Structure 1
Amino acid sequence: MLRTYYLHQLDEFCEDIIRLGSLVKHALQHAMRALETWNTTIADQVLQNDHEIDDLQRHLEERIIVLMVTQQPVAHDLRLLTSGFAIASELERIGDYACGVARRVHTIVSQPALVEVPVGLIEVYHEALKMYEMSLESFLQQDPDIARSLVRLEEKVDLKVARLREELIEVARQDSKRVKAVVALLNVVTLIERTADRATNIGERVIYLETNLKQDLNP
């Protein structure tokens, strides 16, 4: 009976992580939609909903502490809880990045000269989002091979980010009125890049969870 209850608690814990991941994905998608359309209303919704992400992350941390103290897990179960703790923190940070994008929408809209969102920025966002989705899938399936496949995608993101930064800097050089807007977009690029990095971190935790080995996917 106690074992059944314990396993049920672990299942609920995993479900909460996936639910947290879904909330964060929703925030990322809406933040980018706000940027593409210069829609401050959508940006505000992202900011207002961030408390749901924070609340669920805190709930997960409390659940982990209770399970660690009351059940004293070992082996795979212990790695599941410690990795879950780390993954929840990564997800919360990605949620913060979505809020950062939303705030930049307000910054850019307030400038006298708008800057068209580069196609390359949209492309790198979709690459980072794909990495994010794969990292969650690797956890859901507890599949380290999915996690390892993130390396190739991150290399693509890094290359596109470098080109995108050069493109935006050139826009600022050509029109000083757009400097502040360009700086805000450069900040968005950095936030997207960090999202990809965090997705890789999640992948590393999944590899550790399933193999008990630490592998650096972003050397």
Structure 2
Amino acid sequence: RLTDTSKADHWIKLLGLDAFRDKKPATLSGGQKQRVALARTLAHEPDFVLLDEPLSNLDAALKDTLRWDIRNALKDAGVPAIWVTHDQEEALSVGDRVGVLKEGIIQQIDTPERCFSLPSNRFVARFLGEASFIAGNCEGDIATTDLGNAPAIKVDHDTAKVDVLLRPDDIHLIQNAATSNGKVTWVRYEGGSRLCAVKLACDTVVTSRVSHEVMVRPGDAVHVSINTTHPLAVFAA
């Protein structure tokens, strides 16, 4: 059985704190302080850990690194944990299961993939990333819309009139097409990609994510269509 000192040594080394053993707390960075807090917690061999927004005060680059350090340490210790966060990307990336709450009421608990692709309601759909809805008809497992047909899964009521959930990656955008069915209203540069909002003739707005090399601009006439092989979630209209 490990002594208290060896337990501390184990977690100090695992969390990359060995070089900071003799540092005063006030000289540590925010990320280092979070690692110290986790090492202190895990050295006590807890049965369960609650992390309340552990990365909320850190810069974006440090968040991305530290989230994996914390997750890997918890996995290594075999300690179950609830990780509370308002950062959807953080929740989807670190969680084995994700629970979404609205006004203190659980809306859905499932794998990150199912919460994102098959949300239990429209609130969950909008909460977990960009979400557009387009009117359509659903017969069997096929949804028909103005942007084309797609495989579908009915989430709530078994009705023919539905609203189809579209994520930006479900929409294919073409510039300089022979025919256009929408106009770009805004564009957000994301580094490796651009997120574009397109207003259709029916006044519905959908978002599409394209490569950063696609120089699309507000006001451009474009052609958009559904481009997916996985089933899309549909809701009663």
* Structure 1 or 2: more helix by fraction: 1
Report the TM range for the smaller structure's normalisation.
under 0.3
- Of structures 1 and 2, the one with the larger relative CO (CA 8 A, separation 6+) is 1
Task: Output the TM-score relative to the length of structure 1.
Answer: 0.27
Q: TM-score of the superposition, structure 2-length normalised?
A: 0.25
